[in-house]
Structure 1
Amino acid sequence: MTFSIVARCPHTGQIGVAASTAVQAVGKLACHAVPRVGAVASQALVNPYLAYDALRLLEQDVDAGTALKRVLELESQPENRQVGIVDRKGRVAAWTGSENIPWAGHIEGKQCMIQGNRLVGPWVIERMLQVMHDLEYLSLAERMVRAIQAGAVIGGDRHGERSVSIMVFGAEEYPLCDIRIDDHDQPMLELERLFTLYKQKVLPAVLKMPRRVGVPACA
Structure 2
Amino acid sequence: MTFSIVARCSRTGQLGVAASTAVQAVGKLACHAVPNIGAVASQAVVNPYLAYDALRLLEQGVEAGAALKRVLALESQPQSRQVGIVDHQGRVAAWTGAENIPWAGHIEGKQCMIQGNRLVGPWVLERMLQVMHDVEYLSLAERLVRTIQAGAVVGGDRHGERSVNVMVFGAEEYPLCDIRIDDHDQPMQELERLFVLYQNKVLPEVLKMPRRCDVPAGSGKYRALAENTRLLMRGNLMHA
- TM-score bin, normalised by smaller chain: over 0.9
- Shift of residue 214 of structure 1? 7.7
- Shift of residue 213 of structure 1? 3.9
> Match of 1:174, as an amino acid?
Y
* Counterpart residue number, 1:211: 211
> Match of 1:180, as an amino acid?
R
> Match of 1:107, as an amino acid?
I
Matched, 1:165 2:165: yes
* Counterpart residue number, 2:13: 13
Q: Percent identity?
A: 85
Higher share in helix: 2
Q: Which runs of 5+ in 2 are unaligned?
A: 216-222, 229-240
8 Å CA contact 1:172–1:213 kept in 2: the answer is no
In the TM superposition, what are the counterparts of 1:42-191 in structure 2 within 5 Å? 42-191=42-191
* Counterpart residue number, 1:29: 29
State the alpha-carbon separation in 2 of the partners of residues 203 and 123 from structure 1: 33
Going from structure 1 to structure 2, the CA distance change for 1:150 and 1:167 (only over 3 Å counts) comes to same
TM-score normalised by L of structure 2 = 0.90
State the alpha-carbon separation in 2 of the partners of residues 202 and 217 from structure 1: 30
State the alpha-carbon separation in 2 of the partners of residues 22 and 47 from structure 1: 17
Going from structure 1 to structure 2, the CA distance change for 1:50 and 1:200 (only over 3 Å counts) comes to same
CA RMSD, Structure 1 to Structure 2 (Å) = 0.9
> Match of 1:120, as an amino acid?
V
TM-score normalised by L of structure 1 = 0.99
Q: Which runs of 5+ in 1 are unaligned?
A: none
* Counterpart residue number, 2:198: 198
- Shift of residue 10 of structure 1? 0.2
8 Å CA contact 1:37–1:58 kept in 2: the answer is yes
What number of residue pairs does the alignment pair up? 219
